C-alpha cells in the first residue's frame, strides 16, 4: 500500500498535488541564458534588481544608441508560463524581447515575477505592478537605472505579454486607469494569446490563488466596469485558431468594444496556429508576421 505522501490528490495542467500537500511541477526546470550585447543588432541587455523583499528583477534591453541623448519608447513585457514556469531569462523570451527592441527601437523591461508554488498568485500581479512603478520612478531622471534615466521616453510606454503575461498585462492597464501612474503615459497594451478564463485552466488558476474570488474573479473574467477603466489609448490582441484560449481572447475583444472604454482595440487572428507558436519557431513565416505586427503597433506611438 502506498504511503500517503505518494498518493495524488489532484492532477492539473502544470502540476500534481499530493495528499500530503506536496506540489510536483511537470516542468520544474527550464533553460536560462545570461544577458549579452548583440553584435549584429547592437542591442544590449543586462539584469537589474527591482526589489529584494519580495524578490523582483528584470532583464532590460536597449537598442543601439545613435547619440548620448537618444530617447526610446518603453515596453514593459510580462512573460507567459501558466503563472508557474519560465522567465525573462529563458532563451525564447530573451530572443523575442531582443528582437522587438531592435526592430521597434524600444527599451524593453522584461519582468521576473514570483511563480507558483514558491510564491502563489497574486504575487505575479503584485510583482509586475511593482516593476511598472519602478520603471515610472525614473521619470524625473533620478532613478536607480541609468538606461531609463537617460534614454527612456515616458510619454510612450507600452505594456505587453503573452498567455499568463497577457492576463497580467490587462490587470496592469486596469490599475493604471484606476490608480494612475504619475508622469507616465501608457500608450498601448499588447496581449498575445492571453488567458482570461472559460477553459479547463480555470481550476488550475483557482488552485494557485488561495485568495481567489471564484470564477467571476475580475482577474479571471474582467467585468465591463474594469474594461472601461483601462489606462491606455490602444489595445492589440492576438488569438490563435488552434489555441484553447482562442474563444476567451475573442470574447475579451468583444467585451472591451462594448464596455464604453474610449480607446481603439484591434484583433489579429493567427489562422491554423497553436498557442504562442511564435516563441518556438521565431523564423517561421507566420511568427515573423506576428512579431512584425507587434513591432509596428509600438512604432505607431
Catalytic residue, candidates 162, 202, 226, 243: 243
The DSSP code for 285 is H
Classify residue 173 by burial, with Cβ atoms within 10 Å: 0-12, 13-18, 19+. buried
Helix (H, G, I), strand (E, B) or coil at 117: coil
94, 138, 275, 278: the catalytic one is: 275
Distance (Å, whole) CA 121 – CA 98: 28
Q: How far apart are CA 200 and CA 197, in angstroms?
A: 8
Nearest to 58 by CA among 106, 155, 130: 130
Question: Quick check: is 275 catalytic?
Answer: yes
The catalytically annotated residue of 57, 101, 137, 163 is 163
Instruction: Find how far residue 244's CA is from the centre of its chain.
Output: 18
Q: Are strands 186-192 and 234-240 parallel, antiparallel or unpaired?
A: parallel
Annotation says 225 is catalytic: no
Q: Residue 216 CB: number of other CB atoms within 10 A?
A: 10
Kind plus residue range of the DSSP H or E element containing 286? helix 285-299
Residue 163 known to be catalytic: yes
- Residues classed as catalytic: 163, 243, 275
Amino acid at each position: 500500500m502506498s504511503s500517503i505522501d505518494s498518493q495524488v490528490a489532484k492532477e492539473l495542467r502544470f502540476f500534481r498535488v499530493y495528499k500530503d500537500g506536496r506540489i510536483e511541477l511537470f516542468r520544474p526546470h527550464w533553460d536560462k541564458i545570461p544577458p549579452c550585447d548583440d553584435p549584429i543588432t547592437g542591442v544590449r541587455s543586462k539584469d537589474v534588481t527591482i526589489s529584494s523583499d519580495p524578490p523582483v528583477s528584470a532583464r532590460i534591453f536597449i537598442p543601439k544608441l545613435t547619440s548620448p541623448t537618444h530617447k526610446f519608447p518603453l515596453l514593459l513585457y510580462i512573460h507567459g508560463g501558466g503563472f508557474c514556469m519560465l522567465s525573462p531569462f529563458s532563451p525564447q523570451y530573451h530572443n523575442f524581447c531582443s528582437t522587438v527592441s531592435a526592430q521597434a527601437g524600444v527599451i524593453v523591461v522584461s519582468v521576473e515575477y514570483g511563480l507558483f508554488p514558491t510564491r502563489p498568485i497574486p504575487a505575479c500581479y503584485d510583482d509586475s505592478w511593482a516593476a511598472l512603478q519602478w520603471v515610472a520612478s525614473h521619470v524625473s531622471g533620478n532613478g536607480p537605472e541609468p538606461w531609463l534615466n537617460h534614454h527612456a521616453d515616458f510619454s510612450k510606454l507600452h505594456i505587453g505579454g503573452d498567455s499568463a503575461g497577457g492576463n497580467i498585462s490587462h490587470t496592469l492597464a486596469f490599475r493604471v486607469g484606476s490608480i494612475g501612474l504619475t508622469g507616465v503615459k501608457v500608450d498601448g497594451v499588447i496581449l498575445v494569446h492571453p488567458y482570461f478564463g472559460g477553459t479547463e485552466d480555470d481550476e488550475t488558476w483557482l488552485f494557485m490563488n488561495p485568495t481567489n474570488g471564484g470564477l467571476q474573479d475580475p482577474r479571471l473574467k474582467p467585468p465591463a466596469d474594469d474594461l472601461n477603466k483601462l489606462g491606455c489609448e490602444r489595445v492589440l490582441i492576438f488569438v490563435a485558431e488552434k489555441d484553447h484560449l482562442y474563444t476567451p481572447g475573442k470574447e475579451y475583444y468583444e467585451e472591451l468594444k462594448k464596455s464604453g472604454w474610449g480607446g481603439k482595440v484591434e484583433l489579429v487572428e493567427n489562422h491554423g496556429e497553436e498557442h504562442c507558436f511564435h516563441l518556438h519557431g521565431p523564423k517561421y513565416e507566420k511568427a515573423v508576421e506576428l512579431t512584425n505586427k507587434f513591432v509596428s503597433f509600438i512604432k505607431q506611438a
